[in-house]
Structure 1
Amino acid sequence: GTGAMDGDRDAVRFGRVGREYVSAPPTSPAKPYEYVDAVERLAATVEAGSPSRAGGRRGAHVVAVCNAIEAAAEGDGPVAVDDCGATADPPPAPVVRPASDGCNTGTGVEGTPGAAAIRLPPVGFGCSRYRDGEYVERADSIATALDAGYRLLDSAELYGNEHRIGELLAAPGAPDRERVFLLGKAWRTNHRRERLLAACAGSREELGIDAFDCYALHWPSALEHRGELSRLAEEPVERQEALAFPEDADGELATDDVSLATAWENLEAVYERGWARTLGVCNVSRAQLETVLETGDVDPALVQVERHPYRPRTGLVDCCHERGIRVVAHSPLSAPGLLDEPVLDAIGTDRGLSPAAVVVAWNASRGVVPIPSSTTESHVVSNLAAGSERLTADELARIDALRDPDFER
């Protein structure tokens, strides 16, 4: 990385072997900070008779790392680095629901999830290959996203690129597994128990992981199974469509007789085997979510739906947040005409943001995790950076006014 010692918070850039440097913006709101703060803390510990030596050890380790980088650049092969007695920060808090005390189900801040909710980064990265009416290779943009600092990847067996993601996560310079939240999704043709378990096992193998952080039903309704979806991206497009969207004799989608309650029960078998730390459901209505909550033994920790200013899903979002369920917004930027809205341009002009970044910030300010998808490096970076913005109540209300009850895809 570069720029870590720079006063500009946007100056940090990251580059792994064989790849160009990518800007790695901050992903949370800036906190007031003065460089004298560290000196004052050290002075206070000295006065108290217990000075911390951790900073000195880390400083020596940083110098050793810099020297190793220079040595590696001039020579061949790896260079060992002395830890100088420094210790690494502890791993991030586990992705689990904290134990409830019976009164921890409300929202902590109006419009945001309560303390019982799982911990998620403010912005995630969508890994779907389908863009603008065609399928595209996404390995490079996903690698760029990881380098920029995205730590939530939205994957699915339907996308057919889980093995590519697994290769990226196993490559030198990739973030540690425990620092990346992996969301996986079972496709509609695999809602029967044996197929759902097989789908999850196959996805775990392709990704090279022991367990998903969250494994979800991609859609609430089931379709007929016409074949395995493993590495779907390597199949001809016609074959991909036939497997993922089977048709009956009349050319309509061939449905399977598996209710949402049954599919959720089958998904719980994944959780019981330890293959997923939490469970989720996607593209549901509020009534369908209530079905899952009423019939299941394991409550969903995450709900993923299409959400943007035209379709804010306010009732569903509030319902989830009241229950400590996180909401992930797919397709947050792709609604036709959305990014041309004057109000987004006006707010963006005031804040130095693009209309897309304003929509990302609108979601993050409501406690919703948007998962924009882009193949353009500058957009990948700016979308992530927007997650650190928090809009005012007035700005949120102006964007909320874009709601279109007649919006349809």
Structure 2
Amino acid sequence: MRKVLALSLVLFAATIVVPLFGALPAAAAPPYSIKILSPATMAQVSTLGVQIRVQVGSGFILDQQNWGGVNITDHGHIHYFVDGAIKANTWLTQVTLTGLTPGPHVLRAELRNNDHSPLSPVVADSVTVTAGTPSIKILEPTKDESVSSLGFRVRVAVSNFTMSALDFGGWNSTGEGHMHIFDGATYKAATAATTYTVTGWSAGPHTIKVALYNNNHTALPTEYSDSVNVMIATPSITLTAPASVAEGQDVTLTWSVSGFVMDAGAFGGWNETGRGHVHVFEVVNGVENYKAATAGSSYTFSGLSVGTHTFKVELYNNNHTELPTEYSSTKTVTVTAAGSPLEAGAFSPTVFYGSVVALVIVIVALAAMLVRKGRGGKSAPPPQM
């Protein structure tokens, strides 16, 4: 009887304890994480290669010493894939993936154990990018444009290639670098910026060439370049104005500029060689009186007094400072009094009627001469006695 009671108690306890233990959750997997920081999803990348950079967190240790060895909890490395094909396995969080064909690709980074086996569950991240052939195009200056001998802006558009100021002159990384600027075949400058101001080129025709280069200034296996022909000109400004106007009329000055860019967008801002605007002056007794500044091509004076007025226009920098050499033009305009016979197109009754009288006298004189000629020019004979 005691045995039966004991067995019953054991069975009863089992019915309580077993469900309790069975309800306990399984041990959770360590919360490892990996995230692709660059490139961003849907980014344009180079067919030459793309640099992928990841961040690993939540206690996972990238173990260089035991790479490919015995598994250790929380230790391992990263496998990198392109379209499902493994391209690299390393403890590094930044690698360059090469050999991309033009078009879309899926880049994937996955945490692995030391022996390369996948974690359970799998810990990975992926992005979709589009690979394209590198290119560079000159946007400014345009073909056959006249630019300044003081200096001019070269602006380019670069696709499927990373312009890297950080690694300029340093170690190569496939798919990134900078551009070299040439005058024909002669090297002139290098920059990782897409806008650069060229100075020191002589006046005359030139061919500007830009080409993509590696970080350490070596040429890429294939040349990616663009070129444009320009005419470099010494700055000049030519003023046009009426010789005279009547009192009360406006005087509009107009000018043409070459070898210098009139830069309305940077008016009053930072200087950029070869760009700026015009200052307008009225010169009185040899003294230049500032009247206005404009990036336009004309300026109008009103209410000028009778007499002569001398105007001057001069090229200035964006920030209103003078250029090292003066480039200017001057014109003198005469303002005449209202009703003055000097006034262009004015009607003068005195002059008109005086001219008519003079014309009548001339006609009468000519008629008299013709009459005399008809008589042979001889005197009539005296009467007979």
TM-score (norm. length: structure 1): 0.19
Q: Which has the higher contact order (CA 8 A, sep 6+)?
A: 1
Whose helix proportion is higher, 1 or 2? Answer: 1
> Larger strand proportion, structure 1 or 2?
2
- Larger Rg: 1 or 2? 2
